[in-house]
Each structure stands twice: as C-alpha cells, then as structure tokens.
Amino acid sequence: MTRTFVSGWAGCECLYPRLAASCRMLVPFVRHDEKEIAAALRQGGTTLLGWSTGAHLILKQLPEVLERFERIVLAAPFLSFTRYVPTGRLESMIATMEKDPGRTVDNFMAKCGHCGPLSIGQADHPALLRGLRFLLTSKADLAPGFSGEKITLVHGQRDRIVPVQASSDLHALLPGSTLLLPMSGHKIEEELLLDLTR
C-alpha cells in the first residue's frame, strides 16, 4: 500500500510521527516546492492524505489526482486561506514571523492544539515564511461536477486556524464526500487520521 502525506507545516514529524514513519512524506516549502508536490501526486497510490496547507495543495491538483488514488483524506482543508481568515491577520503573522520566528511558530502550535515539544530548525524559518506568503494569494478553483465519493473531509470543531465553514463549503462542492467533525483543534488526532488512511 502506498500512502502519501502532504503536510501543512514544518515539524509534522513531531505532530504526526506514526504517519510520518508510514507514509511518503511531502513537506511544502521546506523540502518540496509546489511543482515537485504536483509531480509526486501524479505518481498516484492507494491513499492520499493532506493536512491544512497540504490539503490545499491537493485541492489545487484535484483534477489531476482524483483518479490516481483510491482514497483521499483532507484534514482542515481550504480552497483559499484568505476567504476564511482576514488578510490582515495573515499579514500580521508574516510580520511577526520576520521579526521573531520562534515565537510565531510557538503561537501557531499552541493554536493548533499541540502541547508537546517541536523541533523546527532555524533553517526552516525562511521556508515557513514563504509558506505564509503563499497563503496570501493561493486559490484552488474547483469546477462543479467532481465526484467526492472517494474523498473524506475532516475538520476539528475547535479549529482556531481555519474555520469549519471551509470544509462545509467543500463538502457542498464535492457531492458524495464524507464530512467528519471531531472535537479537536486544527491538529486532528493522529489516531483518527491513521484509521482513515488504513
């Protein structure tokens, strides 16, 4: 079984260690740019999992990858980040990241619901900044008519990063998709994601 996990943030190995150990891991902006991720997704597999920005990148490639995977799980997905989060809030996060990247990462992880240690090296900070700037303008355009039968959307009801409405809107655009709303934050429990990708 080939499982691919497109992460949303550096440090996903700490957030999701069992998934990182059992999946082909694609880390946007840190290890792979958008073109490299698109090329990797075109290789297909059995299960495709994306979390946050990773789920957004999958949505941008959905017409290309929908038939290449047996099952697709999108955790905390969004078509456009700034459709659900005020641009000013994102710009403020970028400004803070430029001045104090360590504090920005710590604040983000706390809002995600992560309480443990996280190893993000200083070398990753420029990549994280590129990722934040990417979110200012990136959009996934889904034309009507896509079947969502093989797609599961998972969104924490207590998500403080991306409002649940982002997944509700996607659910409406993808007829046949499944929408799960666990009582979690932006970071979905790893055990649930493991169950959905087995």
Smallest CA-to-CA distance from 109 within 161, 31, 184 is with 161
**Higher-pLDDT residue of 74, 9:** 74
pLDDT at 115: 62
Q: What is the mean pLDDT of the chain?
A: 89
Task: Say what the pLDDT of residue 56 is.
Answer: 97
Would you state the structure tokens that stand for residue 135, as one six-digit string? 């979110």
Residue 2 has pLDDT above 90, yes or no: no
The partner residues of 153 in beta bridges, in order of sequence, read 74, 179
SS3 118: coil
pLDDT grade for 10, boundaries at 50, 70 and 90: low
Task: State pLDDT tens for residues 44-65.
Answer: 999 999 999 999 999 999 998 9
Q: What's the CA gap between 132 and 94, in Å, rounded?
A: 6
- For residue 181, what are its two tokens? 């709303």
Q: Which residue do the tokens 């039968």 mark?
A: 149
Residue whose C-alpha is closest to residue 76's, from 58, 57, 109, 50: 50
Inter-residue contact 115 to 14 (CB < 8 Å): no
Cβ–Cβ under 8 Å, residues 16 and 154: no
Query: pTM for the whole thing?
Result: 0.93
**Lookup: tokens for 37:** 């991720």
Helix 53-60 and helix 34-41, axial crossing angle in degrees, nearest 10: 70
Q: Over range 8-22, report the average pLDDT.
A: 81
Nearest to 87 by CA among 51, 42, 138, 36: 138
Task: Provide mean pLDDT across the span 73-93.
Answer: 96
What is the spatial distance between Cα 5 and Cα 81, in angstroms, rounded to a whole number?
Answer: 20
